Amino acid sequence: MSVSGSPTTPSTDRSTSLMDNLLGLLRIRVKKGVNLAVRDVRSSDPYVVVKMGRQKLKTRVIKKDVNPEWNEDLTLSITDASLPIKLTVYDHDTFSKDDKMGDAEFDIKTYIEALKMNLAELPSGTIISKVQPSRNNCLAEESTIHWADGKVVQDICLRLRNVECGEVEIQLQWIDLPGSRGL
C-alpha cells in the first residue's frame, strides 16, 4: 500500500512518467535521396536510419537506386527537444555488413519555437521561419518552416557528411498527443 491508500505497480508508474515527460510525437517523412553514393557495382540498395536518444527507426530498402523515393513516415517520441536527430543512409548488403553512405544531423529547436506560436489565423502556405545552411548544420539549402492546412511543417534537404555525394529530403510534422505534457 502506498501512502495515498492505493497500491502502485511499477508498470503504471513507468507509463505515467513517460507520458508526463512526453512533449508529443514528431513525424519525419523521409521523402527521397538525391545523387547518393554508389556502394555496389553500379548502384546501391539504400535505406535510412533515424536516431534520437535511444530511439532508432528505419525505412525500407530500395533496390538498385541512387535516387530513391521512400515517402515513408517515421515517428519519434519527443521528450527532450534539445537532442539532435541523426540520420544515416546505408547500402543494404546480403552477404556482408551494410555499407555506410553518409550521415547528417539536425536539430528541431527552431521548429519547436514555431510550434509554440499562435498561428491559427494564418493563411495556409505562410512561411513562419527560415533556417539558413551553415557550418553548424547539415542543410544543403535554406529550410522553410511554414503553416500548411492547420499544421506547422518544415521541409529540410540534408547534405550527407562523411561521403563523396548525396542528399536526403525530409519533412517534419508535429503530432500532439492527448495526455502528454505538450509544448
- C-alpha neighbours within 13 Å on the C-beta side of residue 178: 0
What integer best gives the mean pLDDT of the chain?
89
Q: Write out the chain in H/E/C secondary structure.
A: CCCCCCCCCHHHHHHHHHHHHCCEEEEEEEEEEECCCCCCCCCCCEEEEEEECCEEEECCCCCCCCCCEEEEEEEEEECCCCCCEEEEEEECCCCCCCEEEEEEEECCHHHHHHHCCCCCCCCCCCEEEEECCCCCCCECCCEEEEEECCEEEEEEEEECECCCCCEEEEEEEEECCCCCCCC
pLDDT at position 10 over 80: no
For 103-158, the pLDDT digits (tens) are 999 999 999 999 999 888 889 999 999 999 998 899 999 999 999 988 999 999 99
Domains and CATH numbers, the chain: 24-175 (2.60.40.150)
Compute how many other C-beta atoms are within 10 angstroms of the C-beta atom of residue 163. 16
Gap between the Cα atoms of 1 and 7, Å rounded: 5
Is the full-model pTM beyond 0.85? yes
Gap between the Cα atoms of 154 and 148, Å rounded: 10
For 55-98, the pLDDT digits (tens) are 999 999 999 999 999 999 999 999 999 999 999 999 999 899 99
Residue 97, all three cell numbers: 555488413
Q: How, if at all, do strands 143-148 and 151-159 pair? A: antiparallel
